[in-house]
Structure 1
Amino acid sequence: MNHVPQIKIPATYMRGGTSKGVFFSLQDLPEAAQVPGRARDALLLRVIGSPDPYAKQIDGMGGATSSTSKTVILSKSTQPDHDVDYMFGQVSIDKPFVDWSGNCGNLSAAVGAFAIHAGLVEADRLPHDGVATVRIWQANIAKTIVARVPMSDGAVQETGDFELDGVTFPAAEIAVEFMDPADGEGPMFPTGNLVDDLEVPEDVAAGGVLQATMINAGIPTIFVNAEDLGYTGTELQDAINGDTKALARFETLRAHGALRMGLIQNLEEAANRQHTPKIAFVAKPADYISSSGKHIKADEVDLSVRALSMGKLHHAMMGTAAVAIATAAAVPGTLVSQAAGGGERTSVRFGHPSGTLQVGAQASQVDGEWTVDKAVMSRSARILMEGWVRVPGDAF
């Protein structure tokens, strides 16, 4: 029996923020995968090692979590005044699909660095020493991201002393600005309300109604109060991810919120849109011990937030969800703002399972509708490995 040999594709394995992913230059992909469609999805699934009924991704580059089952495709930008076009694919672990419906805020920090390494940014835009401003077109959601990447001796500086909760070792700081981060063409609050009474099944909330703030900023996100679900907002991963009933409850809640936000037409569609919307629960500040054993004091944060990604509680906080948190916190009256003590603010520091994170955002009302110009956070990124990734030649 004849077997098709493996092919090799230039690729770079990078950490960005608290996520990891496989990065490709568009022109390096096989011709069939250079355009969106079945071949591209099949290739990326095989690269990451999905679908895997064992949920381990042993036969691929994935790390069996939503934070490590990610792919990025970059090319020189087709947009005026931008350096690079950025496509993000969230690869399902146990199902045969790639979700292209949103961005990854954490890997956005690595996009600027990779773009420079790959020669996608014009040399005359790069300082020999200083900070390079990389203008990124996020093609999934048609938004601009600006990454400010440190340069040293003509190359990207990756090492440094910037510490990020959820990442073990320090690295160089990269400031990431999400411009006009309201996601999609509709209003930032798709229902027109800062807080909705969301109808859900009785097994999700007693009485079949749950208060929710639903926002399109950074990534579509549904915020609910932790106490309304019987939580404190200080939970770590094991408290949620080991509870199959809790995970099913969150997924049902997410589906009903997605329907109310107009992201899906019926509840069944939520199963094929796992990346968006996100679901998060918020609470007033409280003392807790992070997953690394670090003691977080209530007076160190404005609120506590726990968020789920791809059906599991995230080990830290998704970058795009952090944008949603900061934006919602800047709008008085949302559940996020209420948990943070109310009032107007231009930045928020919140507690998550791995520690704390501060994000800036300034919101304002224009013609009665809320808008936000940009959200800003600091992340770090570095190349972990570069070379070629190999896949069977008939994988796509």
Structure 2
Amino acid sequence: MPDLKLSHSPLIPETEERRALRESVAALAGKYGRAYFQEAAARGGFPDELYRDLGHAGFLGVNMPEEWGGGGGGLADLAVVIEECAAQGCPMQMIVISSITASIIARHGSEVLKERWLEGICSGEKKVVFAITEPDAGTNTHNISTTATRSSDGGWTLKGQKYWTSGVDEADAVMVVARDAEPGPDGKRTLSLFLIPTDAPGFSYTVIDSALRAPERQFVTFYDDVPVAADSIVGDQGRGLQQVFAGLNPERVAAAAIASGIALYALQRGALYANQRTVWSQPIGAHQGLSHPLAKAYIDVQQARLMNFRAAELYDTGQDAACAEAANIAKLAAADACLLSLDQAMQTHGGNGLSNEYGLSDLWFTARMLKTAPVSREMVLNYVAQHSLGLPKSY
């Protein structure tokens, strides 16, 4: 398929080095393409070859410190990697997942944990997924019931379950948010973060039968008295929630990047089809009934991209408060633009839009998921209402 270069828009201010990164990622992911990614999802497998090549090229750890095998770049560089993979028809959720776990380890992990995990995450040889959501807690992290009990050997024992843990069947470890089994002196039970190898005794999982057509499947994970070594706690005991925040802004930027990439891919396919498909002696793209909705979707995704790369820039320069606002806005805007772009691209294809051969319809539930995960549209609006507009907290 001819490349319309929609993902290389000059609207995004980029250095020559970052443009080269974008072109390199596009070339690598484009070598595999949509059909390869669809086949991996259809067989219930993982796109190992693509992920391996991204790691070997240094793209997976582009934002991690060089001392741990990373590229020494920033979040904006990682956003380029995620967006370009998706724009080539390969929306890699595992990179988004790694953006939160690697960020937390890099910022709060001990030297032991950094040495144990970061280099492998950067190379693609290791994958660490994230487990926080529970059936009865949802967004209310304070209400989680998975508990960590201190062991006589200085470690912990975890008991509970998590919901919608992505890609655990491909992972080497899970980063788990758990609550103290016993309250502290102040009567409160604080949260902590733990890294659990997926082959740990007492750890198991079962797949969720979901509508998502993606290589990264969703799971319920179970922790039946899972032993956790003393050196496998991430950061300080009782500060798990604060440490999770280190990964939330990168996660939102990463989610917005994958949404924008899917939107660019869909618009590219829609524009190409509208140029090539001829009815009554002229391309269907000549009709404003098709061209205007595609143009509006393009405008929306470019606006979302501008906000997202601004959020990444704020993160990379240490402006966390401003980044939080921009990242939340970008995530909401990109998710909306993604769904609109995909829907219009499918509409442009007519009946063909529902055929997997054209590479659009099986992306719909992934696009729809991004309105809910990793943070829902409603919680973003709550954040903006409270922090940007100064309105009373509603929850």
TM-score under structure 1 length normalisation: 0.29
Where relative contact order (Cα < 8 A, 6+ residues apart) is larger, the structure is 1
The two structures have a TM-score, normalised by structure 2, of: 0.29
Structure with bigger strand share is 1
